[in-house]
Amino acid sequence: MRLVISAACPANLWEAFEKRFNVKIWEAYGAVDGGGVLIFNFGNAPVGSVGKIGPNIQWKLVDDGGNEVPQGEVGELITRSPEAGPRAVEYYKNPEASEKKIKGGWVHSGDFFYADKDGNLYFMDRKTDSMRRRGENISSFEVENIVEKHTDVAVCAAYGVPSELGEDEVMIAIQLKEGRTIDLRDLMRHCADNLAYFMVPRYVDIVDEIPRTETLRIIKTDLKKKGVTEKTWDREKEMPELKLKQ
């Protein structure tokens, strides 16, 4: 094996994986309902980036109001391809979904990215998986990446649950490595040292297995529906002494 085509390879594992297995990683981004947009990093963009969009496709990153965000800030990727035309995406017998997908001729990806000064795009999260806490947008992908660096954690799923103050509280479900136990206070200190203060999880559930689809994507619907229970560990109650740096 010489080449691996990846989707959302964590930047911190990218070069280590290439070196360990003596392969080259190409990063790809696309979707069946993406309006014909396929982005590739053939090793010609920074590690962690999906690369640049082709010259024949218009694109921008926008906030919830449709306003373009400044370079370096996170926004939803929307695209417009002259070749695809105004009906670039059409859902079968579902005109409402089609209208929601395409607004003003722009295809809405439903995914958050940020762009560097050279126009390389960096995937952050699915819009439906993102969270908002204390006025800040939070990438579940980024939270999961940090939690999974803890020595006792095998898999993490991060998602938002309703807050008493409005917006979301960050909750994680974690699956431990085989034969391991975990000190959740130590996990919170690990998070506080490596995440912005508003991203540190409040709630933790330890589960036997994280649910996945057949293509190994984490299923968060049931986790969100279950939410906080009497068995959930609450950082604010169990560890009030932890002071998050703002």
- % residues pLDDT > 90 (the chain): 68
User: Would you say residue 242 has pLDDT above 80?
Assistant: yes
What average pLDDT score do residues 52-66 get?
92
What average pLDDT score do residues 160-175 get?
91
User: Structure pTM?
Assistant: 0.76
Q: pLDDT value at position 226?
A: 93
What average pLDDT score do residues 187-206 get?
96
The CATH fold assigned to 130-238 is GMP Synthetase; Chain A, domain 3 (3.30.300)
Q: What CA–CA distance (Å, rounded) separates 171 from 204?
A: 6
Higher-confidence position of 74 and 187: 187
Query: At the fourth CATH level, which superfamily is domain 3-128?
Result: Luciferase; Domain 3 (2.30.38.10)
Q: pLDDT value at position 126?
A: 85
- Domain positions in the chain: 3-128, 130-238
What average pLDDT score do residues 97-113 get?
91
Q: What are the angstrom distances between the C-alpha of 167 and each of 53, 159, 160, 208, 211?
A: 33, 12, 9, 29, 25
